[in-house]
Structure 1
C-alpha cells in the first residue's frame, strides 16, 4: 500500500461503499453478528475462507453466526409506500383550484401527485368508482394543453382512455387529442381524432365548436417531431483504443493511434444503474431524465417514471422484485452501491442469472477488479451479510419463483448469493457516479453546479485507469456515459481518467491518502512522481518548450539565453523564437475560448479550447497554469452537451 495509507480512513471508506451515513438497521445487525462470532472466529476461521461461495455459505451454516442471521432474515417483509385514493382525490381537487387561479406550475405539481398516489383502476371502488387514475391523467392532460406541452398532454389523454376514462369525457378526450396531433403536425391522426369526437359529441353547439376548431390554426413554437429520448446516444467505442495488461496496473486502456483533444472515445450504456433515493421525486427511476409529467408504478408510490415506456420497462423487469421492498432496503441504511449490486440481479430473469453464475458467460463484468486479495476478514463478513440480506429480499419478492418461506437458501440460490457478494466487492472500485449540470435559466456556466443523481457500472469505461492529470473527461446523457479526450495522446499513451483528486486542486499527500484509502492503490502518475504544484502555486511565468524532435521528450525551461538550443538528449537544434510565438498564440486562443464561454457559446468555446490545447502540447509540456485552466473550462463546456437542467435561481 501507499506510504500515505491511513488504515482507519480506508476502513471507513470501504464501509461507506456498503452503508450510507444515514441510520439503518443493517450496521446494528453487523455489529451483533461480529460481537457474537468474536474476533478469533472472524480472523482465524471466516478470514481463512478462500472463495465467495464458502463465505456466503458460512454465514448461514457456522454455529457462531447462523442463529442471529436466520432470525433477522426471517423477519424480512414488504415495506413500501402504498397508493392512497383519498390523497389522490384531494390533490386533484387542489390542482383544479390552482388551474382556475391561473397557477399552472402549481397545478401541474398537484396533478402529478394525484397521478402518482392513485390506486390501480378498479382496485378500490370507494374512490371515484375506481377511476381516480384516469381522472387525474385527464385533468393533467387538459392542463398540459393549456401549457402548450402537447407531447405530454397527448400521452396523458391516451393513458386516461386506456385507464377507462368515464364515457362522459370520451368525446372531449378525442377532441383534445385532435388538438395535440394538429399542434404536432400529424394531420392524418388529427382528422381521425376529430371524426371520433364528432361521433361521440352529439350536441349541435359542441359539434359547431369542433368544426371551428378544425379550421383554426395552432401556433406553437415547438416542432412536429415526436417526443424522443434526445438525451441518449448510440453506443460507441473508438478504434483508436486498445486494452493492455501489466502486473502493477492490471488491465488499462492505451491509445493505438493519435488522438486529438475533443475526440469522443466511448459512449457506453450502463450494465446496471440505480437512481439515488433523494432523486426519486425529481428524476425518472428508469432513464434518469428530469420529471415533468410523471407516471407511477401500478403498485407503489415510491418511484416515478417519465413515460409509460420507462414504466413498462421497469415494471416488467427489476421493479417487479424491488417495488414492495424499497422502503425496507432504504431503511436498512444500505448504500446506492449495494442497491446497484441487487439491480444487477433483478434486471434479468432468475434463469439467465443462474446460467451466468454457472457458465461465467458475462466475462466483461465478471472479470472486473475486486481487490479480494487485499480485503480484510471483517470487511468480507460485512459484505457477506449484506449479500445474505439482499438474497432474502429476492426470496421474498418471488424472484426465484417460490413463496420465500424457506430462509435457508438452496444450492442454486447460494450461487446468486455468491454473485451478490462479488458485485458488492467489484462495484466498490468500478462504479461511476452519474451527474447532471444544474444551470440558471440564462445558461450561465459560472454559477452552474454538478448534481450527483445516481450510480452505474460501465464495464468498458471501468477499464480506464486513474491519473491525477487525466487524459479524458466524462459527462452523461441520461444514464449513458460519454468519454472525451481533454488533451492529445500518442500511440501507446495511457488513456486515463480521474477518480476524484486532481493535481491542480489537491496536494500530493491528500491525493495519495484518498486514492490509497478509497481505491487501494498508490498513484505513480507524473503529477505525483514529480509533485506538481497546485493551480494557485503554478507560476505563469514558468513555461517549457519541447525539443523540436517529435521522438524526443526533452524540453527547455524559459527564458533561455540563446536563439537556438541543442537538445542534450537527442542533439536536435530547436529554434526557440518560433516556438515562443506559437506558445503566445496558444494563450491568445485560450482568451478567445474564455470569452466565448462567458458569452454562453459553449460549443464554439469548446472547439477553440481543443485547438489551443493540441497546439500547446505540440510545442510545450505540463504543468502550465493557463492550459490547465483551459482544460477545466473545456470540461465544463462539454458537460453542457449532456444532462442539463435549468433549475437554479439566478442571484441578483
Structure 2
C-alpha cells in the first residue's frame, strides 16, 4: 500500500476511535529516530507494508515511445515545439531501452535525426556513434552515415572523409533498386563533388555558446570560504544567525560563489537535463539499470553512481511512480550522501550527537576549526527543523520517512545487503532506525532551507527552477520583501551579488520569493508564515509599500528632468538588450551595467524608497545578471 492508504487505516483504526493514548504516545517521542521506531511499530501492529512499483528497462515500452516520436516527426511540418516533444519521446525511449539492445541503437539514431534539425551537430554525431557501437541494423547504416556527413560538413570536421568512405561501403552492399538507397547514393555523389574548402551555410547555424567563467570574489572569507570578506555572521534573539556587511558594498559586487552540498533535478526535467550536474543536455545518456536518471556524460554518470545513485537506483523509480514529493526524494538523497561521506554510521551518530548538543547557536554546524565547510553534512545538521511543526504534519512526515526507510532497507545495499521484508527484524537493527531518523530530519529541514537551482528561459526571460539545492551558507541570509542582493545559478554554483549600495554594519537580506512590488502585503505575510513560520517585519511590510503600478516616479521627488530622461533612455536600452537576448543575440553589456549602477546609486541616495524608476533599474540589473547564469534556449529551426 502507499502512504495515503496507510494514513487512512491509521485515521480509521486509531484516530477515529479517539485513542488519546496513541496521540499522547506519539507526542512523547523526542527525537526523529524515536518517531521512526514508533511508526514502524504501528505499521507492524496493523500490517501496513509499503508497496513497490517496479519501473524497469522494457524493450516494448521503448519501441512504443519511439513510435510516438516517429508519428510527430513524420506527420507534420516541424516546429521548434514539435521538435522538442519528439526529442523528449526519443530520449524517454532511450531511458527505457535495455542495454545493450537494438531498441537502444534505434532510439539513439532517431534522436540524431531531431538533433540535426535543431542544428545540434556535435550531439547528433555523438548519438550516431552510440547507435553504430550497438546492434544497429546493417540496412540502415548508410542512412545515418550520410546524416553524420552532413554534421561533419557543417562543422568542417576532419572525420568527414572517413564517414564518406564508410557510407559508400554500406551503400555498395545495398540494392540501388530501393528508392531510399538511390536517393542516398545521389546525395553521397553530390557531397563527393563538393570542393573540400566549400562549406554550406549550415556552419552559420551552429551557435557556440561560450559559458562565461565563474565570477571571482575579491578577497575570500576565512570562516566562509565561498563568501567575500565583506560579509560576516552575527547572532541575536531577533534575527538569529544573520549576515551583515563588514565594509561598504557596491551594486553588482560579487558576495558569494557557493557550491551546493547537494542537488536534485526536478522530475519534469528528467529528459532534458543531467541528473547529476543539472546542466541542459540535448543528447543525454541513461543509467544502465533504471529509467529515471540520465546524464550529460560518462563522467557525471560515474560520479552520480559513486556518490548516491547506486543506492537510489532501485528506489527512486518506485518513489516517482508513487508520487513522492521532491522534498521526500531529496531527504533520501541527502541521507545517502551523509552516510557515504562519514567513515561509518557510528561516526555519523557521534557527529549528530555533538552538533545537537552544541549550546553555542553561533557556531552550531561549523567544523572544529571554526570554518563552515559547505561540502559536509554537519552544516545541514544546524538547519532549523521547526520543532513546533503541527502534530499531524509531523506524523505524516514520520510515516513517509518510515515508508522510504522500509524500501531503502529491503531493496538496496545501504546496510550491506537487502534486508528481509520484515518490520520486526528492521526494528532490531539500530543503524536502520538511525538512518530513518536522518531521513525524517531531512524532510523537516528541507522545505524551509532549500533553494531553487534556476535557469533563465530566454523565450520568456524568466528564471525557472531546474531543481533543488542545499546551500549551507546562503541559508544563513534572512528575508526581505525588498532584498539588497540577488541570486542566480551557474554551472553547479549559486552566485549572490549586491543590488543596492550596502553600508558597513547593514544586514544583507535575500528574498524567499515574495517581493513587495508584485504581491500585496497580506498575501506575502500569509505565505511566509505558512511556509517559513515567521511574520515578516521588513521595511516594505512595516510601511505597506505600494505595488509596482502604484509607485511614484522620481519626478515627484525633485529629480532633474535631464536625469529622468537619462534613465528613460537607459531603460529602453535594457529592453532592447533583453529582446535581442530572446533571439539568442547576447553582446557585451558592460556599458549598460555601468550606467544602471550609476543611476541606482544616484536614486538610492537622493530619493526616498520606494521609487518607480529605482525599482525598474533594480529589475533590469537582475535581468542582465540572470543572462550570465544558467539558460535554457530552444533552438530555432
Answer yes or no: is the 8 Å Cα contact 2:156–2:199 preserved in 1.
Answer: no
SS of residue in 1 equivalent to 2:255: strand
Structure 2 unaligned blocks of 5 or more: 175-184, 217-225, 353-375, 582-588
1:616 aligned partner: 603
Determine the C-alpha separation between the residues in 2 that align with 1:210 and 1:635.
48
Task: Call closer, same or farther: CA 1:224–1:233 in 2, change over 3 Å.
Answer: farther
- Which 10-residue stretch deviates more, 312-321 or 92-101? 92-101
Cα distance change on mapping 1:611 and 1:40 into 2, 3 Å:
farther
- Residue pair 1:538, 1:625 contacting (<8 A) in 2 also: yes
The offset of 1:413, in angstroms, is 1.8
Q: How does 1:380-459 map to 2 (within 5 A)?
A: 380-398=394-412, 399-405=414-420, 406-407=422-423, 408-409=426-427, 410-440=429-459, 448-459=461-472
Q: Which residue of 2 aligns with 1:52?
A: 32
Aligned-pair CA distance for 1:55: 2.2
CA shift in 2, pair 1:463/1:223, >3 Å: farther
- Is the contact made by 2:456 and 2:627 (CA closer than 8 Å) also made in structure 1? yes
| Alignment CA distance shift 1:196-1:509 (3 Å) | closer
Between the aligned partners of 2:562 and 2:230, the Cα distance in structure 1 is 29
Which residue number in structure 1 is paired with residue 487 of structure 2? 474
Aligned-residue offset at 1:238: 2.6
SS of aligned partner of 2:622: helix
| TM-score, normalisation: structure 2 | 0.76
Decide which of 113, 120, 141 is 2:89's aligned counterpart.
113
RMSD of aligned alpha carbons: 4.2
Mapping 1:374-385, distance limit 5 Å: 374-385=388-399
1:218-257 alignment to 2 at 5 Å? 218-219=199-200, 230=211, 233=214, 237-257=227-247
| Shift of residue 186, structure 1, vs aligned partner | 5.6
After superposition, the Cα gap between the structure-2 partners of 1:357 and 1:151, relative to the gap in structure 1 and judged at 3 Å, is farther
Q: CA deviation at 1:595?
A: 0.5
Structure 1 residue 430 displacement after superposition: 0.7
- SS of structure 2 residue aligned to 1:403: coil
Closer/same/farther in 2, CA of residues 186 and 240 from structure 1, 3 Å limit: farther
* Partners of 2:385 and 2:444 within 8 A in 1: yes
Q: 1:494: Cα distance to partner?
A: 0.9
Alignment of 1:78-477 (within 5 A): 78-80=53-55, 82-85=57-60, 87-88=62-63, 91=66, 95=70, 98=73, 103=78, 110=86, 113-114=89-90, 116-118=92-94, 130-141=101-112, 144-145=115-116, 148-165=119-136, 180=151, 183-184=154-155, 187=158, 215=196, 217-219=198-200, 230=211, 233=214, 237-315=227-305, 317-347=307-337, 350=340, 352=342, 354=345, 355-360=347-352, 362-372=377-387, 374-398=388-412, 399-405=414-420, 406-407=422-423, 408-409=426-427, 410-440=429-459, 448-477=461-490
2-structure distance, mates of 1:607, 1:85:
58
| Offset at residue 519 of structure 1 (A) | 0.9
State the Cα deviation string for residues 596-623 of structure 1 (Å, max 9, x = none): 1221357454443222112222334422
Shift in Å at residue 385 of structure 1? 1.6
Change (3 A) 1:261 1:200: same
Match of 2:510, SS state, is coil
Could you tell me which runs of 5 or more consecutive residues in structure 1 were left unpaired when the two chains were aligned.
1-23, 124-129, 441-446, 545-557, 559-579
**Counterpart for residue 365 of structure 2:** none
Tell me which residue corresponds to 1:76: 51
SS in 2 for 1:238: coil
Please give the alpha-carbon distance, in whole angstroms, between the structure 1 residues aligned to 2:88 and 2:549. 48
Cα distance, 1:305 vs. partner? Answer: 4.2
1:536-555 to 2 correspondence within 5 Å? 536-540=549-553
State the match for 1:598 in structure 2: 575
- The structural deviation recorded for 1:521 is 1.8
CA shift for structure 1 position 115: 5.2
Asked whether the 8 Å contact 2:154–2:202 carries over to 1, the reply is no
1:481-523 deviation line (CA, Å, top 9, x unaligned): 2222111111111111111322233344333322222211232
Question: 3-state DSSP class of the match of 2:380?
Answer: helix
The answer to which of 242-251 and 146-155 deviates more is 146-155
1:177-228: CA deviations, max 9, x gaps? 67656654564x6677778889999889999888657935334665999988
SS at match of 2:401: helix
Partner of 1:577: none
